[in-house]
Amino acid sequence: MPPFLTGNAYVNLVIMHFMVSLRMLGLIMAASVFMLPSVPNTVKFWLSVALSVMITPVFGASITGIAMSSLPLMIMMAAREYLIGMVIGFTSSAPLYALQASGFIDGTLMGLNMMNMFDPTSQTQVSVLAQMKYMLAIWFYLHWDGHILLVRALAESLKFMPVGVPLWESFEGIPLIDWTQKIFVLAMTISLPIFGSVILAEVGLGFVARTVPQLNVFILGIPLKIAIGMLVLLTVLPGAVDIFHREIEGAVSIALESVRFLR
């Protein structure tokens, strides 16, 4: 039976760019920094095509003849490339999710979660502090060239996961538990100062309630916790941004390790 596609160099080049653009498109569609609704899907598609045109000649890769032997195998390879990009984009966004989770924890401790706002990225109602920290994380992510680091990580994945590998060679498992634990620990680390200050405020209000029973501690406690939380948040926010900065490259490294199960 003749092969599905011939070994023509031009056909090989077009399919190669198509596969790399699918991997890049998966990264753009899954990475939080590219998920803003203000960026149209058409722009994301053509951006992935342009980046694939720039990246592919550097590695000089080619589609194997086995991968081109049938249409179902080509479809499987295309799905694999898109999945690789999605895993890299989603996993490398762990610092952004951690900073957003810390905002949710801070809002819960300060009593601000009663006021929610619409998040255009996730299309859900989120805490005000969580959304503020999330937008701040995206700004600093772009400021520190995190988007360029993502593109470099995807280009690096082409070295140890070349395009057109017809079969999965091994399954080492996705470090999903470690990834989730990292987000939770990072979020708690960022929120720990506010957690401690609010606990001390609660203890102080308990002493006030015992010594001055006539005072309405509940009414006094709400603005007091918000004021203390905001003051501590303004104090520790630069440190939280530094922690966020240190975790960006580590999250990208974990993302590259996470896609090894598709080798």
> First-to-last CA distance in the chain?
28
| Helix 9-30 with 146-160: angle, nearest 10 deg | 140
| CA–CA separation, 170 and 161 (whole Å) | 12
From the number of C-beta atoms within 10 Å of its C-beta (0-12, 13-18, 19+), residue 7 rates as: exposed
Token readout for 140 is 């600093």
Give the CA distances from residue 251 to residues 19, 106, 112, 240, in Å, rounded to whole numbers and listed in that order. Answer: 25, 23, 29, 16
Residue 123 has pLDDT above 50, yes or no: yes
Token readout for 220 is 């006094």
Mean pLDDT (whole number) for 95-113: 85
Domain ranges in the chain are 9-262
Task: Please name the amino acid found at residue 125.
Answer: Q
Report pTM. Answer: 0.79
Mean pLDDT (whole number) for 129-141: 87
Q: What Rg do the C-alpha atoms of the chain give, in angstroms?
A: 24
Residue 124 pairs with which residues in a beta bridge?
119
Residue 9 has pLDDT above 70, yes or no: no
pLDDT for the residue numbered 2 = 44
Give the CA distances from residue 32 to residues 27, 89, 94, 163, 237, in Å, rounded to whole numbers and listed in that order. Answer: 10, 7, 9, 25, 21
List the helix and strand counts (H, then E) for the chain: 8, 2
pLDDT for the residue numbered 63 = 58
Which of 82-86, 199-203, 208-212, 257-261 is predicted least confidently? 257-261
